[in-house]
């Protein structure tokens, strides 16, 4: 077996840039969604088609990314 | 790869493919360690063992790396002897493979190497994968006493901050460094305060890698660190959020650039950013 039909694209999900990677191994499609910075896997899914795997992973990733709060940077006490 | 200070710690995907027979025979141990702990089950390099970083490369009760006894159990069950070459690889540009490398070096395993480019490169090159779990004959492994020179604990980091005698390298993303976010986007927040350790330089771990996941050239790596004032002539302490991204930068500094005194502060921001009255700097990196 080999990883076939490899696809990679970038998209903004929940306000954060994400990398969506999908491929097929055997009969199963896999999708991983990574945050671009720093590059951690946020969600993954598998399915019998690329669409099924990508939709499931993107949905989970969007929910998790939306929950990440951007904070107002507090004043630097060292300055 | 020959320009690196320790090229013997790095192998290519092609080298691994050429040595699959030695991996199958047990002469070489190949281990996959992923950020996404389910990735191994999708398919892995034939003959590779899978280690879960959260349950097999950490003490699951006390916050700590593996004890000597736990390392001996893990390696023994994996059929590894002190003489067995161990090749580590994983997803996300070998992020957690480096975490495994760091721990094996702490316990004195002599021949540990990283597969350059990791899982991503292997899959993108359409090399063969297997879903079969590797079967290796268990051994009785005897680890060495932990090498304390590879790891920093809080008191040492506090001294480094006060005396500015060591270069602190924060390898997290710019948003984590500045304090804009408390964790990587999409992951749970695990600290009370945002920002960075005073005096730290921001050199995100991913800057050490090319697009295909392989390590950048020695010249590019040298420029990356030296441009931030991180040079060979003084000790370096690398940190991130929980110590795994910084083990990747630790590997780059120690084994690819040959810096003599490099330590990984695995307490990292989840320790410092939760301490009462610990000094914190906020805002973007200063040039």
B37 with B115, same domain: the answer is: yes
Output the six-digit token pair for B260.
């003599």
Q: Are the beta carbons of A38 and B245 separated by less than 8 Å?
A: yes
pLDDT tens-digit map of B52-95: 998 999 999 999 999 999 999 999 999 999 999 999 999 989 99
Residue A56 in this model has a pLDDT that exceeds 90: yes
CB burial readout B248-274, b (16+ within 10 A) else e: bbbbbbbbbbebeebbbbbbbbbbbbe
CATH code of the domain covering residue B252: 3.40.250.10
Cβ B68 vs Cβ B146: under 8 Å = yes
Residue A79 in this model has a pLDDT that exceeds 60: no
Output the six-digit token pair for B93.
């540009």
B140 with B171, same domain: the answer is: no
| Residue A35 φ/ψ region, left for φ over 0, alpha for ψ in the -120 to 50 degree band, beta for the rest | beta
- Among B117, B145, B173, residue at a domain's last position: B145
pLDDT tens-digit map of B224-261: 999 999 999 999 999 999 999 999 999 999 999 999 99
C-alpha distance from A2 to closest chain B C-alpha (Å): 5
Give the ipTM of the model, two decimals please.
0.90
B19 with B132, same domain: the answer is: yes
Quote the number of domains for chain A.
1
Asked if residue B244 is part of any domain, the answer here is: yes
Domain limits at B104?
7-145
Give the three-state DSSP class for B160: helix
* Probe site for chain B from A29, A38, A68 (most B CB atoms < 10 A): A38
Q: For A44-51, what is the mean pLDDT?
A: 97
- Among B145, B175, B203, residue at a domain's last position: B145
B139 with B153, same domain: the answer is: no
Cβ B174 vs Cβ B204: under 8 Å = yes
Quote the number of domains for chain B.
2
Closest CA to B171 of B278, B80, B248: B248
Q: For B168-182, what is the mean pLDDT?
A: 96
B140 with B176, same domain: the answer is: no
Asked if residue A73 is part of any domain, the answer here is: no
Asked if residue B277 is part of any domain, the answer here is: no
Cβ B173 vs Cβ B186: under 8 Å = no
DSSP string, A33-59: EEESSS--EEEEEEESSHHHHHHHHHH
**Predicted pLDDT at A77:** 46
Q: Are the beta carbons of B194 and A43 separated by less than 8 Å?
A: no
Asked if residue B194 is part of any domain, the answer here is: yes
Quote the pTM value. Answer: 0.95
Domain limits at A19?
3-66
B141 with B153, same domain: the answer is: no
A43 touches chain B (CB under 8 A): yes
Picking from A72-76, B12-16, B30-34, B160-164, which range would have the lowest pLDDT averaged per residue? A72-76
pLDDT tens-digit map of A1-29: 999 999 999 999 999 999 999 999 999 99
Q: How far apart are CA B154 and CA B267, in angstroms?
A: 7
- A42 neighbourhood in chain B, CB within 8 Å: 185-187
- B175 neighbourhood in chain A, CB within 8 Å: 37, 70
Q: What is the mean pLDDT of chain B?
A: 95
Asked if residue A79 is part of any domain, the answer here is: no
A74 touches chain B (CB under 8 A): yes
- A58 neighbourhood in chain B, CB within 8 Å: none
- A34 neighbourhood in chain B, CB within 8 Å: 92
Q: How far apart are CA A27 and CA B209, in angstroms?
A: 32
Among residues B106, B157, B240, B252, the one annotated as catalytic is B240
**Predicted pLDDT at B189:** 87
CATH code of the domain covering residue A25: 3.30.67
Active site (annotated) includes residue B209: no
Q: Are the beta carbons of B182 and A28 separated by less than 8 Å?
A: no
Asked if residue A74 is part of any domain, the answer here is: no
């Amino acid at each position: 077996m080999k990883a076939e039909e490899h696809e990679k694209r970038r998209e903004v999900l929940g306000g954060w840039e994400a990398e969506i990677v999908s491929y097929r191994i055997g009969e199963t499609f896999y999708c991983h969604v990574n945050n671009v910075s720093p590059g951690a896997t946020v969600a993954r899914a598998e399915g019998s088609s690329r669409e099924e795997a990508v939709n499931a992973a993107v949905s989970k990733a969007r929910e998790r990314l939306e929950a990440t709060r951007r904070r107002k940077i507090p004043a630097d006490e060292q300055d | 790869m020959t320009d690196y200070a320790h090229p013997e710690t790095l192998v290519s995907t092609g080298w691994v493919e050429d040595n699959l027979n030695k991996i199958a025979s047990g002469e070489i141990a190949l281990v996959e360690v992923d950020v996404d702990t389910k990735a191994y089950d999708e398919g892995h390099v034939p003959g590779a063992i899978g280690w879960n970083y959260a349950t097999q490369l950490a003490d699951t009760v006390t916050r700590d790396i593996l004890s000597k006894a736990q390392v001996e159990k893990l390696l023994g069950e994996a059929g590894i002897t002190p003489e067995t070459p161990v090749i580590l690889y994983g997803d996300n540009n070998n992020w957690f493979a480096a975490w495994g490398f760091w721990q094996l070096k702490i316990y004195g395993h002599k021949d540990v190497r990283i597969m350059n480019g990791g899982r991503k490169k292997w899959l993108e090159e359409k090399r063969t994968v297997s879903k079969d779990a590797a079967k290796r004959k268990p051994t009785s492994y005897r680890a060495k006493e932990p090498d304390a020179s590879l790891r920093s604990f809080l008191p040492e980091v506090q001294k480094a901050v006060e005396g500015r005698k060591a270069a602190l390298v924060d390898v997290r993303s710019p948003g984590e460094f500045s304090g804009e976010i408390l964790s990587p986007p999409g992951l749970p927040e695990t600290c009370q305060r945002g920002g960075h350790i005073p005096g730290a330089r921001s050199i995100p771990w991913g800057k050490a890698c090319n697009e295909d996941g392989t390590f950048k050239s020695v010249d590019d790596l040298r420029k990356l660190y030296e441009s931030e004032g991180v040079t060979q002539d003084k000790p370096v302490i690398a940190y991130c959020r929980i110590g795994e991204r910084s083990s990747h930068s630790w590997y780059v500094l120690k084994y690819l650039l040959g810096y003599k005194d490099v330590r990984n502060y695995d307490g990292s921001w989840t320790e410092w950013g939760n301490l009462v009255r610990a000094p914190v700097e906020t805002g973007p990196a200063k040039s």
